[in-house]
Structure 1
Amino acid sequence: MQSHKRAAPVSFKGIVRGIPSFASVVILLNAVIMGLETDIQSPIWEWTEQMMLSFFVLEAVLRVRHRGWEFFTSSEDGGWNILDMTIVAAGVIDDWVLKAWSFITQSSHRGGGLSKLMTLARLLRLMRILRLVRVVRAIRPLYMLAIGVVRAMQSMFWVLVLTFVALYALAILTTRAIGRGELLNSMHDIPE
């Protein structure tokens, strides 16, 4: 006798938990497409960009719906979430709001405040490449390597400060002792 088990329904939390992995793939695909659209002109890029932006808007809405205000205030990743929301908002403003506004008002001229706002939104859209940071955070070995590089840079900063202080002190000493003749009266006093 066979028992027919029904599959458990997919829960909202289950969907939200699976988003980061899928989003990492979409982010990598978006980065590849951004590279391609830089060199290859094609009308398909507009369509793919709209699809990607739609995905990122849906992802943001689901994540905020799932976590509420904690999404923005979490000490672990709140800052990254705010950056991500800023990138998505800039995309929405550039691709949807400003284009709709331009269509409604039939303003095809480049001057004025709308043009400056569109330029600012496009500059903010360039920040979307920063989404790659999310991929680094999603892949643990890559994240650990990045953390190691950052920590090494912090240590290197103090090495550079110490080197600068030592070189500065030696430069003053050398300038006064040799350059101003306090140690040697002339260049002929230097032994060969």
Structure 2
Amino acid sequence: MPSGASPAWRPGAALSREQLTAALVPVAELAPDTTTEDPGATPAARASASASASGEAACAPVLAVLSEQPQASARRWYVSGNNVLGNRTLVDAAGLPEGRSRERFEALKDAVYGGGCTAFRPEGGTGGARLRVEAVPSEVTEAPAVGFRILSPTGAVNGAGGFTRVYLYAAVGDNRVLFLKGDDTAHAPALPADLVTAQIHRLVTATSG
């Protein structure tokens, strides 16, 4: 379940691709060893995007969030230290006009925090294994947000210990930002708080001007 009361909804117009790109956190505001990378060079950025909602109606809001690619969007990998899997966090900001940001948020909150979505089977997944979905409490204070993780039963490369992807969806007016970090489950991946806080603040500022 979410921790504490969710921040109040704040109206804000959908931003253009250029505005969203300008709102992404510059590395100068993060730890000294942070670098960035173009997500176009990393196909793995769309992890779980091919998942199908067939037969998994309760997880449809989760799958919709993972697969959507809005026209107005800006994405960037933030790499902390060595460029290895566990040091990489994807930030995907997008404008979703006509109330779709809030609609997505409310549906996702109900699916994740309401306990309706607990597992789904990815389309074309290896061995037909089901992926578990678990709620993660959100500590975000500036915007309504939903945290969750998706656990795979097999390891990232050759291990059998499992693989975990951690997500956070924050809605800022008619915009949303989706964070993603993945690693072997044994390493307990967690989103970097400084990046999450700074990115949501920049998006809130950009929509309130």
| Fold match by TM threshold 0.5 | no
TM range (shorter): under 0.3
Larger Rg: 1
Structure 1 or 2: larger strand share? 2
TM-score (norm 1): 0.26
TM-score (norm 2): 0.24
- Structure number with higher relative contact order (C-alpha < 8 Å, ≥ 6 residues apart): 2
